[in-house]
Amino acid sequence: MTTLRFLNGTKTIGGNIIEIANGDSRVIMDFGVAADLTGQTVAEAIAQHHLPNLPDLLLPNQTTKFKHQAIFISHLHLDHMGALRYLQNHDIPIYMSADGLKLYQLLMAQGVEPQVTNLRPLADQGTITVGSLKVTGFLSDHDVIAPMALLIEDGKHKFMHSGDVRIGGYHQDRVNHWSDFVKNQLDVYLTEATTYSFASEQPQMVTGDHHEPVLTEQDLPERLTTKIKTSQQVIVLNPYPRNVERLIRFNETALAAGRPMLWEPDYAQLIRTFAPEQQIKEISEQPVNGAPANTTYYPWAEIEQQLQQNPQQFTLQNSWANHDRLKSFAGGLYLHANGEPLGDYDPRFAQLQDFLTENHWTIESCGASGHAKRADILALATKINARRTVPWHSFKPELLAADLKQTKTEPWLPELDLYYRFD
């Protein structure tokens, strides 16, 4: 008998965690957080469903009945992997895509993520056997490098976790492939339903009457080029660092437009790791032991002086941690590209708005959602045509469930922490 237990994510954006168990074998899909755990003990966070109800993994000196078990991470956003830092069971293997693992190792080396052990790569279309269960990973498309959709089999049943997914991104071929592979075969398809949470197809920086352009990933290079060509002010870009492919394209775009990007060191290192052939200009002192190939270093004092004299010489990447640097200039154009703070649900975003207004900066969007539109989510679920489809990763999963009633798949809205049996 196989059991499914939903540990989080049924009515939240992120924190999606499901346990699939068969006898002495267990696999866990994703291990993220969807709440601020500041001031909570791990036991308190478990009780409040801020961490999954897995005391055998999260509390010290616990025993487990599972002889075979593993965690599988669909992608490296905090709401899908942020709880790994709380693991007390350090023997459980943790699988993710090869490039996802490379990114994780780099983030740990940078001190962005705490050290986590027993991380292992999962090849595209590679299968890992965990006792009586098998898990196959398929590269997919989202706004982070090398996301995966995950297929779980017990020999009689097939379950699919879409991870976060978008349609029409850099890698539509990957989404086409895994959805073709599993269509008409699944007992349960777990689909993200993020955009069913909002009135707009893309979460806005500022909610209410304010409206921003709904952009796709492919729109962003042209938008950045237009701003570079038409603005005589200092241009600042605030991107999300884990969207490495976007960083690489922004770097190429700014260089081609004649206004090269200046990157903070951690961002420059991300680009160097995944695109070593790129020409990179880094905001840093020249290292004592020599520069890596293709990297030129600019001390901040030199950048200040050059941009004050000629604002059109460079495009400046700037993170929230370094926003005070912008006081050096008499205002400019601040392009928000899904970096932190992402939107007005984050208290820091109001601080950013106030800071920019006070210092004469104009803020505009230059980002795109990593999530499929509502119509695309429904079309993908219709194509896959599982026996049951679970909408989650949404504040309003019932809206997708209502749309699914028009299809052949049965919508299923499970409860947290119940064991659902598949005999």
- What's the CATH code of the domain at 301? 3.40.50.10710
98 and 176 share one domain: yes
* pLDDT at site 281: 97
Among residues 365, 382, 411, which one ends one of the domains? 365
- Let me know if residue 205 belongs to a domain: no
Pull the structure tokens for residue 361.
Answer: 């900066």
218-268, pLDDT tens digit by residue? 999 999 999 999 999 999 999 999 999 999 999 999 999 999 999 999 999
312 and 382 share one domain: no
Least reliable range by pLDDT among 12-26, 209-223, 361-375, 394-408: 209-223
80 and 118 share one domain: yes
Cβ neighbourhood burial of 91 (10 Å; 0-12, 13-18, 19+): exposed
CA distances from residue 341 to 47, 205, 320 in whole angstroms, order as listed: 28, 9, 7
52 and 184 share one domain: yes
Structural domain including 230 reads: 219-365
Pull the structure tokens for residue 225.
Answer: 């080029």
- Let me know if residue 223 belongs to a domain: yes
Q: In what order do the strands lie in the sheet with 261-263?
A: 295-298, 280-283, 261-263, 315-317, 235-239, 332-337, 361-365
414 and 337 share one domain: no
> Are residues 412 and 420 in contact, defined by beta-carbon separation less than 8 angstroms?
no
CATH of the domain at 157: 3.60.15.10
275 and 165 share one domain: no
78 and 115 share one domain: yes
- Let me know if residue 203 belongs to a domain: no
34 and 176 share one domain: yes
* pLDDT at site 159: 98
> Are residues 97 and 124 in contact, defined by beta-carbon separation less than 8 angstroms?
yes
239 and 360 share one domain: yes
* Tokens 């809206």 found at: 399
* Tokens 């004092």 found at: 301
Among residues 317, 334, 365, which one ends one of the domains? 365
- Let me know if residue 208 belongs to a domain: no
Among residues 347, 365, 383, which one ends one of the domains? 365
CA distances from residue 24 to 1, 21, 150, 362, 378 in whole angstroms, order as listed: 11, 8, 21, 58, 35
Return d(Cα 194, Cα 184) in angstroms, integer.
24
Give the angle 252-256-262 at the CA atoms, nearest 5°.
Answer: 60
Mean pLDDT of the chain: 94
Return d(Cα 195, Cα 182) in angstroms, integer.
23
289 and 393 share one domain: no
Pull the structure tokens for residue 293.
Answer: 């190939």
List the alpha helices (DSSP H) in 262-396: 265-274, 300-309, 347-358, 374-384
pLDDT of residue 291 exceeding 90, the answer is no
Residue 193: name the closest of 6, 19, 372, 22 by CA: 372
69-116, pLDDT tens digit by residue? 999 999 999 999 999 999 999 999 999 999 999 999 999 999 999 999
103 and 249 share one domain: no
Structural domains of the chain, count: 2
Pull the structure tokens for residue 106.
Answer: 């780099």
